[in-house]
Amino acid sequence: MNKFTAPEHWHADLFTQAPFEHLEELFTLSQHADWPAFEWLNAQQNQQHNRQVVFTPNSELEGETLYYEEIIAQTNRIPTRENNWHDFFGALIWCLFPQTKSLLNQLHMQEIAEHGLKQRSKKRNALTLFDECGVVLAVPDMSWQTALRAHQWQEVFYEYSAMWHHNLLPFVFGHANYEMLTKPFIGLTGKVVCIEVDEAFYHLPLALQYRHLDKQLANMIEQQGLLDNNKQMSPLPLLGIPQWYQGQQDLAFYNDTDYFRPKRQKATNKDTQ
């Protein structure tokens, strides 16, 4: 597979597409004719969060000897490449999930203190995987998590397609997901975590939904060990989400087992003999 390359230039019309609907509603990105300035980016942060970070151009940090996570932890500056989709989306996720992003930084620093920079623990790998590829799915009950973990793709995506964006609400956490959705391709897959929500959640404004999920997610990571390893995340074919694929999402589409892969069966003792 060829290495993914994001578009070189700013594309305002990108934000009229379904996967970017949340970003458009909260940041009206389609109104920008070019890459938003750092001053604009830093002004988007949730002022109610007690840790204010500063998105800082990489060019201002060229002489910095600290590691990326150390820079954030010690200076509250986030190295951000200019005119770069990956880092731009990363900054927006900091604005949308400030409590969780701050916690991930703290946990990275704890893992570095214990294992050093060169040895990556299972926990640090899980933190990175979710940071890059995570999706939070707000669900009315956790049976949906069971179905997703069982790879019941036709049932979840096709048979219950009408429930998506009403009762099943996807919230992108991984900024690499957003980057790759700029040029979506069959095979694009995130890592999903389900959070059960009550009826009142569905009636909240979008910004308050993010604030609620940010708090819940941080609690699940810190108190319930959600990202102690990769086991509590499961794959989510992103283009299977209704409206997120520009082609036809018919039954034949979901029958493509190269993309919508069936659950791998564990080998039994009899099978291995």
Amino acid at the residue 207: A
Q: Would residue 210 count as lying in a domain? A: yes
Question: Comparing C-alpha atoms, which of 160, 177, 185 is closest to residue 242?
Answer: 160
Amino acid at the residue 48: Q
Q: Would residue 6 count as lying in a domain? A: no
In the chain, how many domains are there?
1
Q: Would residue 1 count as lying in a domain? A: no
Q: What percent of the chain has pLDDT over 90?
A: 89
Q: Would residue 80 count as lying in a domain? A: yes
Q: Would residue 269 count as lying in a domain? A: no
User: By residue range, what is the domain housing residue 18?
Assistant: 12-262
**Is residue 28's pLDDT more than 90?**
yes
Q: Which two tokens stand for residue 256?
A: 């493509």
Reported pTM? 0.94
Q: Quick: pLDDT tens for 82-105.
A: 999 999 999 999 999 999 999 999
CA separation, residue 222 to residues 20, 176, 217 (Å): 28, 23, 9
Q: What is the pLDDT of residue 267?
A: 53
Of the two residues 65 and 86, the one the predictor is more confident about is 86
Q: Would residue 3 count as lying in a domain? A: no
Q: Would residue 5 count as lying in a domain? A: no
**Is residue 138's pLDDT more than 60?**
yes
The terminus-to-terminus CA distance of the chain in angstroms comes to: 35
Q: Quick: pLDDT tens for 111-123.
A: 999 988 777 899 9
Q: Would residue 175 count as lying in a domain? A: yes
Q: Are residues 175 and 86 in contact, defined by beta-carbon separation less than 8 angstroms? A: yes
